Amino acid sequence: MKQFEGRVAVVTGAASGIGRELAVACAKRGMKLVLADVDIEGVSATKDLISSDIAVRTKHCDVSSFEAVQSLANLAFGEFGHVHLLFNNAGVAALGPVWSAPPEDWKWVLGVNLMGVAHGIRSFVPRMIAAGEEGHIVNTSSAAGLGAVAGSGVYCASKHAVVAVSECLLKDLEIAGSKLRVNVLCPALVKTAIADSDRHRPAHLAPTNPDSAPFDRRVRAGMDASDVSAADVARITLEAICDDDFYILPHPGVRLRVEKRLHDIIGDHRRHKPDDLDTKAGKT
């Protein structure tokens, strides 16, 4: 997709960080916008950054709720008739060793990071397919969705799942003969508000990992030291949409880590004959 002007973008997690910068970047290209977040004041602040010439609708939306995302889709299609870019971007983080992560961490993080993407796909994509127009579904994963990070087991699990869902969605759309394309965004550390996402954590999911503090300090230090900004990520993302790059990795170093991981997975298989590998795998 290379034509942006006059088309419609929906951004979840639009109150700050990458979501805010995606909204601003789309607006600069003349797109109409539907912006959503649980932080409605933050969404309003994002809207204030956008020219009054751009049509913008805002909505409070907890993406962990299917009904809330359905309502967001109804607003977008009801107001503008079409959606061309869907950014399933909302995300939260919980840190600490896997063994001390309470069930509430799993429910909250998977509810937002994974089910938010699933709800976005279910609520928007059938209507986007039916419209028969070109468009992109951009799911925000993370560099943590392509590797492993100490103290981030819950978060990594959610983001690995987003990568898998995105890869499957691309194949499903191809089989369906749809014009829609998919991108999965995998940034490393960027200075955003995700380190403070606990401020929006539901009260009934309040218990957190008691051993999170050292990992939290490490993440915040990494964010502060990052030379890639949220605006950089948004710019790179729109360029990737134009170029139809499925994997979007704004931080060059991530590719090296992914390459190392793949080498670790492949191992020394080239030393063995196919029959040896079948035997080792338990095949007869």
CA distances (Å), origin 186, targets 10, 161, 165, 196, 236 = 19, 12, 14, 20, 11
Is 155 an active-site residue?
yes
Rounded distance between C-alpha atoms, residue 242 and residue 147, angstroms:
26
Rounded distance between C-alpha atoms, residue 149 and residue 142, angstroms:
11
CB 96 within 8 A of CB 212: yes
Rounded distance between C-alpha atoms, residue 182 and residue 169, angstroms:
7
Question: First vs last Cα of the chain: how many Å apart?
Answer: 48
Classified as helix, coil or strand, 200 is: helix
Give the contacts of 250 (CB within 8 A, at least 6 positions apart).
185, 187, 188, 190, 228, 232, 233, 236, 237
Q: Active-site residue among 145, 155, 166, 233?
A: 155
Instruction: Find the angle CA(267)-CA(170)-CA(30) to the nearest 5 degrees.
Output: 125
**6, two tokens:** 């006059």
Classified as helix, coil or strand, 227 is: coil
Catalytic residues, by residue number, are: 155
